Amino acid sequence: MYNILVVDDDKDIVESINIYLKNEGYKIYKAYDGIQALDVIQNKEIHLILMDIMMPNLDGIKTTIKIREDKNIPIILVSAKSEDTDKIIGLNIGADDYITKPFNLLELIARVKSNLRRYVSLGNYNNTSSEVLKSGQLTMNLSTTEVHVDGDLVKLTPIESKILKLLLFNKGVVFSIDDIYEKVWKEDSYNAENTVAVHIRRIREKIEINPKEPKYLKVVWGVGYKVEKL
């Protein structure tokens, strides 16, 4: 059973989501602002967070930033706003997915399941293989999903890890934005460009000495992205 934390200052929305997710077999924890959410995360094992952006005391953006200091729990942000800028901000500060109110609860459940599948596949291997993917001084251990650059541990979110694993496993191969989105998100690539670009930028900021002149994660203009063979 997976534990999901639902965070929203609207208690009716929390209860509605609670009913649907409990019917899917998940255990639900509830919080009504970011401060309460952080308290739950510190005291309970949480596998996914579904969190509103606009909340009192501590909003979803600031809460996500705080969570990402030491945890890679999948975070789906929820907002009444539909502008692309809000989505990009959410992805930039570490969210894994984004859904806009009013949302279809069946779509919400599908996104929850999709993010949990990625989280589990990245963090729980059933073998003890020590195989390491490598490009120069950039390495990823397939058993632990730990990423190191020049010996230093780099903390990636589940989505970032999935993208880097795809590119490292296929060094030198150029993947289009649509290819990356469909292979990582397991969904059709409608409006995928901003989503993929934001995650690529975040990965570069973490693994590159100079993200503007990347050594490892390169763009092939008009085609896509690749990890260099080094």
From 101, 123, 145, the end of a domain falls on 123
Per residue, what are the HEC states of 127-140?
CCCCCEEEECCEEE
User: Cis omega before residue 102 (within 30°)?
Assistant: yes
Residues 175 and 208 in one domain: yes
pLDDT, residue 183, reads 87
**CATH number, residue 154:** 1.10.10.10
**CATH number, residue 67:** 3.40.50.2300
pLDDT, residue 101, reads 85
Residues 189 and 89 in one domain: no
Q: What is the CA radius of gyration of the chain?
A: 18
Give the residue numbers spanning the domain of 158: 132-227
pLDDT band at 129 (very low <50, low <70, confident <90, very high): very low
Residues 88 and 169 in one domain: no
Residues 24 and 136 in one domain: no
Rounded mean pLDDT of 115-120?
Answer: 77
Residues 19 and 111 in one domain: yes
Summarize pLDDT for 174-226 with one digit per residue, the tens. 999 998 998 888 777 666 778 899 999 999 999 999 999 999 999 998 889 99
From 68, 98, 123, the end of a domain falls on 123
From 123, 155, 172, the end of a domain falls on 123
The number of folded domains in the chain is 2
pLDDT, residue 215, reads 94
Cα-based angle 78, 79, 83 (whole degrees, multiple of 5): 125
Residues 114 and 76 in one domain: yes
